[in-house]
Structure 1
Amino acid sequence: MGSATTQARTATAEALTAASGVDLDVARELFAAVGAVSGSAQLSGALSDSSAPAAARAALVTAVFGSTYRETSVALLRRAAEQRWSNAAEFVDGLEELAVRAAAVADSSADIEGELFQFSRTVASNGELELALGGRLGNASAKSSLVSTLLDGRAGAATALIVSSLVQNAHGRRVRALLRRASAIVADQRSSIVATVSTATPLSAEQRTRLENALSARYGSAVTLNTVIDPTVLGGLRVQIADDVIDSSVSTRLAELRHRIAG
């Protein structure tokens, strides 16, 4: 990712924070804009062309989306188009990130990170489902309908919108990777980090609270726990935050002991 894109993402995220009236309809329109822009090389190229004046790129946004999208959505798209992006692909990725952030803002009390994690686990355990959702040959509307069926009663509207929108615009990207990225974006929007905890048995409410507090103190940020029940852990915990792993599981300690005995 180029430095121009990094600055553009920051400016776009700040515009979202300052915006008013961000609801799920706005998030839905932003996701629709992602589909429109990614589906047109001419449009994505024009909106990300740093040699063109920022005002001209913003005016193009208004011309394309102004008559059908809400004012808040158009203003956010204009702000994104005004930035300097390293290339058209990163501009599209930036719009997708903006849409995910908007969904997180629209439903700030929902456990979107946890719901995305659980759906990712469902996909990981079913190769046919992952192929159906991520395959290039599938019909976009059929994928959206499948997501709606799978998440009905199991996730909130914001999560369902994020997942269905991502699978409709997967463009060959792996579904699990899209869900992990979305979860990280939501966590960042909420100024928190996501910890994946592997344990042999479910954690009690008290254990979860103690662990959340300990991790928050260690990393200086609010922590969301995603729990994986893994009988092979035997006892203790294995915690992963990004590339950082804290492993106090019995299985790991036994493996280390066997290694030392073997010499």
Structure 2
Amino acid sequence: MGSASRHAITSSKAALAGLGAKANLALGEQLFAAGRAFAESAQLRAVLADPAVPAADKSSLLGKVFGKGLDATASKLLGQIVSDRWSSQDDLLAGVEEIAIRAAVSGSKKNEAVDAELFAFSRAVSSDAELELSLGSKLGNPDAKAALVVKLLKGKASAATIAIVSALVQQPRGRRIGALLSYAADIVADQAGASIATVTSAQPIAAAQLTSLGKSLAKVYGRELNINLIIDPAIIGGLRVQVGDDVIDGSVSSRIQELRLQLAG
């Protein structure tokens, strides 16, 4: 995102936080629907992203486009979002999507680990080529993709997870399904004041060891870390830890590769 958009997303997050209990799944679903409408209309998107158009005119346009499709809370928040200066139309779409995700999980119960559910679904999709194609194909019908997500996750995941995944597969904006779910999980964790650490191990790790690792990483990063564990025998031994763009690779396979490079040099 450009600098203007980074400021806009900060402002939008503050506006969402100011809603208190009104920030909930219903609000998130309305914002997701608005984002799809923006994506489908180049003319609407151009006007809303134009910094020369007065905020009052943008709010009036939203009212004409959505009518009673948005409740008072969603209408006001969306008006605040589009009134900010965005670096591009794509950044505006991304901003609405991020705030929708944050709103969707704001009312989640404490025992609903939405980021963990997103990770689990991502792993399931990546292991099933047919499913990945069904959800990620550019030629697929958006409504059919959403219906498939509901069928797969109903009764197995929280309502927030289902809403987020359904919305993302309908509007991927050129992103692969794995990247979509990873991106959403990061936002969900951040909304709860945490980050995600993806730990890859050659074999299962005891819960106590994972807890200890999480505490150690939390000290380094200064915030809570939610750990996603991947079992991959290919790394042979050791651990590979990724937090955001940071990668700590202590796997045996990595060391072997380094040795090979040294010998080749």
TM-score range, shorter chain: over 0.9
Deviation (angstroms), 1:187:
2.0
Whether 2:98 is the aligned partner of 1:97: answer yes
Deviations 1:183-206 (A, max 9, x none): 121122222111110112222221
Q: Distance in 1 between matches of 2:173 and 2:252?
A: 42
- Aligned residue identity for 1:168: Q
In structure 2, relative to structure 1, the CA distance for the partners of 1:155 and 1:188 (3 Å cut) is same
Match for residue 181 of structure 2 among 176, 179, 182: 179
Q: Distance in 1 between matches of 2:144 and 2:258?
A: 49
How many corresponding residue pairs?
Answer: 263
Normalised by the length of structure 2, the TM-score is: 0.91
Deviation (angstroms), 1:259:
6.2
Residue 35 of structure 1 aligns with which residue?
36
Q: Which SS does the other structure have where 2:95 is aligned?
A: helix
Spell out the pairing of 1:116-135 with structure 2 (5 A cutoff).
116-135=118-137
Deviation (angstroms), 1:108:
5.2
Q: Which SS does the other structure have where 1:144 is aligned?
A: helix
Q: Distance in 1 between matches of 2:252 and 2:136?
A: 37
Q: Which SS does the other structure have where 1:223 is aligned?
A: strand
Q: Which moved more, 1:182-191 or 1:6-15?
A: 182-191
Deviation >6 Å, runs of 4+: 258-263
Q: Distance in 2 between matches of 1:78 and 1:194?
A: 31
Q: Distance in 2 between matches of 1:179 and 1:215?
A: 23
The two structures, once aligned, show a CA RMSD in angstroms of 2.0
Residue 51 of structure 1 aligns with which residue?
52
Residue 11 of structure 1 aligns with which residue?
11
Spell out the pairing of 1:146-225 with structure 2 (5 A cutoff).
146-225=148-227
In structure 2, relative to structure 1, the CA distance for the partners of 1:2 and 1:108 (3 Å cut) is farther
Q: Distance in 1 between matches of 2:107 and 2:121?
A: 20
Normalised by the length of structure 1, the TM-score is: 0.92
Deviation (angstroms), 1:257:
5.6
Identity across matched positions, percent = 46
Q: Which SS does the other structure have where 1:51 is aligned?
A: coil
Deviation (angstroms), 1:246:
1.5
Deviations 1:121-176 (A, max 9, x none): 22222232222112222111211111112223332111111001110112433212
Spell out the pairing of 1:68-107 with structure 2 (5 A cutoff).
68-107=69-108
Q: Distance in 2 between matches of 1:81 and 1:229?
A: 43
- Aligned residue identity for 1:55: A
Q: Distance in 2 between matches of 1:209 and 1:64?
A: 49
Q: Which moved more, 1:23-32 or 1:232-241?
A: 232-241
Unaligned runs of 5+ in 1: none
Q: Which SS does the other structure have where 1:67 is aligned?
A: helix
Deviation (angstroms), 1:251:
3.5
Unaligned runs of 5+ in 2: none
